Structure formats: C-alpha cells, structure tokens
Amino acid sequence: MTNSDDNSSTTRALHIPELLDTIGSYLDPPELLPCVQVSQHWNQLFIPLLWRTINDQLYAWPRILKELDMSTTTNTTTTQPDDDRRAEIEDWVRSVFVKYGHHIQHLFANGFITIVSAQAAGTCTNLRTLAVIGFSKQTFQEAQALMVRLLGDFDSTEVEVQEVLSKALVSPVFKEVVLPPREQEDLRKEKWWKKWIFTQRFWLLVLQNPQLHGLRLDRDFMNMCVDVKQGYILETLASLANLTKLDIFFYGQSLTLEMVLEQVPQVCHFSSRFRNLLVPIHFKTFPQIRTLHCSDCLELPQLLSLLKSLPNLDQLWIAGFNPLTSATGEMSNSLSTVTAAFTATVSRLRGLHLIGESLQTAEEMDGPLADMVLPRLPCLTALSARALYPRMAASLGTHCPELQSFRQVDYGYSIHIDDGDQPLFNGVATLLRRCPNLKTLDVIWHKITAADVLAEPWVCRGLETLRCQIVGMDKLGAIEQDVYDSSTVATAAATAVEADRDDKEKDEPIKNLDIAKTTETRRKQQLRYKLHGQVYDRLAEMTLLRALDLGHEFRYPFDELFVAAGEATVYEVSGRMYTTLSPPISGTLELTLASGLSRLSALKNLEVFGFEGVDHLIETEEVAWMAENWPKLRILRGLQEPAEYRRLDGDVKTRMLREYMEKLRPFVKHEAVDEFNEMSYRNNKRLQFTF
C-alpha cells in the first residue's frame, strides 16, 4: 500500500460517523470544543456530544453564573454589578438552551437561571437525567430579580390569596395543588409568589421530559420551592415510565417508604437522604428495588423486615439501627416474629452501609449485627460501619466469604480518645486472616500491633487498599539512641583504622566505649529492626497494594479554651482549624532504609503512601528511595505544604523533604489525610447510584 493509499484511508476514517461518535463519547467538553471547529462535517457530528451534558458547576459555568450575584462584597464596601452585563449573561444562558436544548440529555443544575432558562426555552425535551443540587449557594435576591425580568411583575401587596395564585399561575395543571405556606408565610408577599412561579417552572420542565431516567432533588432545592400536595408529586413521578433512579427530599410531609415505592413501581434505585421517610415494620414486597438510601435510623425488626421485603436489594444505606429497643407493643413483639420469618431467608444484599448515628453505640450494635444480620448476608461484598468490633469481624469471616471491602465511618474527633491506648481487640487482623477476597480495608482509626500482623498469614493476597495504624514497635530511649549512634560511629572509625594497623594492634580494645551497655543497646536495636523487617515482609506480600496509609494526625476541632490556656497548638487542614493535644502515634514503623524499608520495593503498584501522624525517621535517602522504587506513586501524605497543613511553629525538615520529593517527582501530590476517612458518600458524593 502506498503512502497516498494510507492517507486516503486515514481521511475516510476521519469521516466515519460511528467511529467519531465512539471517540467523542470519551472526550470532555474542553476536548470536544476544538473538534467542532475542525470542519463542518465534524461540527455536525460533535455538537450533539458537546452539549449532551450540562453541569453548571463545571468548567466556565461557575464563573459566568457568579456574575449574576446581586451584590459583591469587597471588605466593607458593597457594590452593584452592572445591570447591562447581568442582562447580557442571562440572554446568553437562555440562547444556549434555545439553540442547543434539544441535544441536552443530562442536566445538573446549581443555578436558578439554569432551571428557568431550560424550561422557558421549550427545546429541552430530551433529558434523561435531571439533578438539582446545592441551591443554597444561590441568593434568593438573584432569583427574585431574575423572575421580574423573565416573567414580569405585578403589584401583589393588596390582592387576595386566590388572586395571587391566579395571577402567578403559569399552567392550569397546577391549579389547586399548592399547600399552605410554611410558618404562616404571607401568600401575598412578593417572595412567596415568585417561589410559586419557580416551583411551577421546575415541574413543567419535568413534565416536558417524560422519558427521564434519573431525577435528583436535594433539600436545598426543595426549600426554594413552595410546598405542593404530595399526591401531585407522586402522580408526576408515576407518569415518568422510564424513571429508574430517584433521589428526592419530601419536606414536612408524612410519607412511608411503602407509599412512595407503590406510587413509583418503575424505580429501581431510590434515595431519600434525609430523615423524613417512615419505614414500617411490615410492608409489601418490592422485587424491583436494587438500591435504597434511607437516612433514618431503624429498629432491628425494621431492618430485618426491610431485607425480607426487598429480595433483590443490592446496596443499602441507612443511618444505623437500634438493636436494644425499649419500645413495647408492636415493635417489641415484632422482633421475634420478624426474626423467625427471616431465619429461612437469605438476602442477596452485597453492600450494607451504616453511615450515621444511632441511639446505641457501635459497640452495642456489635452482637446483634454479628448474630442476627450478617449470618443472613452470604453475598455481602462491602460493609461500612462506625467501628470494627471483634464479633462483627469474626462473623464477617465466617458468614460473608465474598467480602471485598470494609470501611469505617465515624463522627468522632480523631483516632482514639487517648492516643496511647493499645487496641483491646483486633478486628483488623481477623479480616486480614479470614477474608480471602478482601480488597479494601479502610480503618485508619484502628490499630493493629506488630505481633498481630505476624501471628498468622494474611489470606487476602488481592488487597489493594490498606489504611490502619501498625504499632507495637517501641523506639530506643533518648539515651539508648545516643549510645547506639555513638557505637555505630565508633565501630566505623575502628574498622577504618584497623585496615592500617599491624596484626598485633588489632586486638587492642576500643577506648571510651561502655562495652556492656553498647552490646545491650545494639542487641535491642537488632531485635527492633528484625521486627520491622518481618512487618515490611508481610506488607510486601500484598503486591497488588495501590494505597497504604499508616497514620492519621491526632486532632480535635478548634477550641479557643484550649488555646487560651496554652494547652494546644493551632493548625489548619483543608480550610478547618484544629488544636492538637497529642504527640505523633507511638510505636510505629520508623520507615527508614536501615529498618528495612527497601523490602517494600515489591509494591510496584503503589499509588498512595501515607505516614501522617507516624513517629517516623524519614530522611532524604528514604525520599529518594520512594521516588525510585514506586514508579506509580501519585499521592504522598505526611509532607504537605503549609497552605494545606499549617502549624504555627512550622516544620523546616518536613518542608525540606517535600521540596526534595518535588524535585525528584514533580507530579506527586502532597495532601493531608481526609478527616472523614475518605468516605466521599458522606458528603456530596455519597449517593448510592451515579447519574
């Protein structure tokens, strides 16, 4: 084949719609934008991909929408942005939806104007996903001003309630669906009727897209709306025949989970992330539900009944459960009934996530969870809980052979109340020894002693994430360390001198050394390094490890009383102020080459390495070794920059080591351990399904 034939084939390939569509599906908007400018043919093919998804929290959208703020504050001076500029931005946003609205399939809205413009354009009728989140960031003054410009204004100060509703009625479908205002809010106030208009505009946008597959409405957004009758909301949701993913907050309305699921039988993934849905003890079977996020704290009978009534449930998020109820009547009598009915039932649940507070402590939940819940979950692959207790760990090892992930969630201040405490039990070791399919063990607030690390082999050779504190390797005392350092220097000097001595001089004792003390100190250090080496060897067996975190800075939220009393040092992590009341974690690995760090060279897949809070002895030699032997390393925790991790007294050595690593591996990020144990679903990303 000639070069001209090759060029011709390449040219033809660049015009194949199916090929370009496949390539375009992997590109983000900043990458698609140049593609639409290549040629008219490419423009026609890539424009639908460019506008397939709009998220007004990404790319240039936040900057554009920020200019719509009604006021900007500089120190104590408040200035009004230019009205012409604001109108220009509003026109641009509306024109985007008018021109490209028919291409949009996924709309993630944070701004008021985004929703109003999408509905008013009339072209945004092909949505598959509609998610409205974070509306608290938008000022209601912005919404009011925008309503006046988009929808017109009228004097509502002296009119009657029905006249207000009539004048503000956008569509007759909303007649008689509004509920009385919250907290006796005056229906005639301008603020209320503008909220009423906005509420109608939003639900009209939903009605314009009957093919919706996913709908998410958070609490902040629902607070921006006026309350409409729950029957209307449920009827509207029921009309969306393709709706399979629903995340909604029902404000101040008495609904049970059963009522909602009955009205939307097409929904497979349901989330009500706030404590406002009632879960009955007994309810109907809903085989279609695959994922449920219910932020209520359930009684044990409710939890067991829930598992029985949702036979195909795959993932379950709840705040927790109360195993020891003091209730009488139906609740107390139902426990034995539900337990007996559930005994013969095996749930297919693969993920159980206890993500919040309960009336009982995590320790009190240990027995009931281990004895009554986990034995009925043989397919469980992921468990999240506030702590890992011994009976829970043993039950997981016995009844959940497919377990792949355990993550600890906790609202506590730090690792332990007393950093010097040794663990009274070792659930961490139990999972490592008894769960062969374990891939993630995320328990940075738990400790495991070196003795427990070495007591039995780890069966989880596919482990990818290990986050826990390895302790039990006490350092030499200050005097012992001086003796050891002196003996090391003296031995090296003696070796150099002996090379030039005559044979008769080699037997002369080395002066100024306390032989007995030196021998004992060196023996003790050798035992320490032997223990270090054995622990390193155990870790090195986990050759698939991608994340290894060995510590967490012991911290408390900022407390002025401690600071004023001179009992604390103030520092900042991720924009939050803390006071530390404890030294580094004691008895940890020292992470030096002398102690055997080089044995971890087998971890070629390691991407994240953390030693924050560890009482380490890392120097430039260790940093250079990490840079050379862990080629995939991208995140290092323990040498963070001052902007992210700032102590008032500073840390010259840490800065020096960080700068050295930046010189060797400039693309390695330095960041602090997330205080919430990297449990992203506890914040904005904690949804159980992805839109």
The three state secondary structure string of 334-377 is HHHHHHHHHHCCCCCCCEEEECCCCCCCHHHHHHHHHHHHHHHC
Q: Quick check: is 15 in a domain?
A: yes
359 Cβ partners below 8 Å, 6+ apart?
297, 322
543/660 same-domain check: yes
Pick from 685, 673, 617: nearest CA to 644? 673
Distance CA 276, CA 299 (A): 15
- Whether 80 and 104 map to the same domain: the answer is yes
Summary mean pLDDT of the chain: 76
Q: 70: which residues sit within 8 A by CB, 6+ positions away?
A: 80, 81, 139, 141, 142, 145
Together in a domain, 165 and 217: yes
pLDDT at 619: 95
632 in a structural domain: yes
- pLDDT of amino acid 564: 54
Task: Residue 27: give the domain boundaries.
Answer: 1-50
| DSSP code at position 614 | B
What CATH number does residue 364 fall under?
3.80.10
336 token code pair: 């034995």
Is 265 found in the same domain as 217? no
634 in any annotated domain: yes
DSSP helix/strand/coil, 208: coil
Final residue in a domain of this structure, among 393, 409, 425: 409
Q: How many CB atoms lie within 10 A of CB 266?
A: 14
Chain segment 96-124, per-residue pLDDT in tens: 999 999 999 999 988 788 888 999 899 99
pLDDT score, position 676: 43
Residues 338, 370: one domain?
Answer: yes
Same structural domain, 229 and 272:
no
What pLDDT is stored for residue 111 in this prediction? 77
Q: Is 230 in the same domain as 117?
A: yes
Q: Is residue 78 located within the same domain as residue 211?
A: yes
200 and 62 in one domain? Answer: yes
The Cα 450–Cα 471 span in angstroms is 6
CB 586 within 8 A of CB 419: yes
- Answer with the one of 13, 29, 50 that is the final residue of a domain: 50
Q: Among positive and negative, which fits the CA dihedral 361, 363, 367, 372?
A: positive
> Is 463 domain-assigned?
no
Residue 686 lies in a domain: no
- Distances 440 to 220, 355, 431, 443, 634 between C-alpha atoms, Å: 34, 17, 10, 9, 19
pTM equals 0.80
Contacts of 35 (CB under 8 A, 6+ apart): 24, 27, 42, 46, 50
Residues of the chain with confidence (pLDDT) below 70: 1-22, 24, 26, 68-83, 134-170, 179-192, 251-254, 273-277, 323-345, 357-364, 410-425, 476-521, 554-583, 642-650, 674-691
Residue 523 belongs to some domain of the structure: no
9 and 107 part of one domain? no
Same domain for 71 and 30: no
Say if residue 301 is in the same domain as residue 203.
no
At 133, list the tokens: 């989140």
| Inside any domain, residue 658 | yes
Residue 263 lies in a domain: yes
User: What one-character DSSP code corresponds to residue 550?
Assistant: -
Last-in-domain residue among 50, 67, 89: 50
Total domains in the fold of the chain? 4
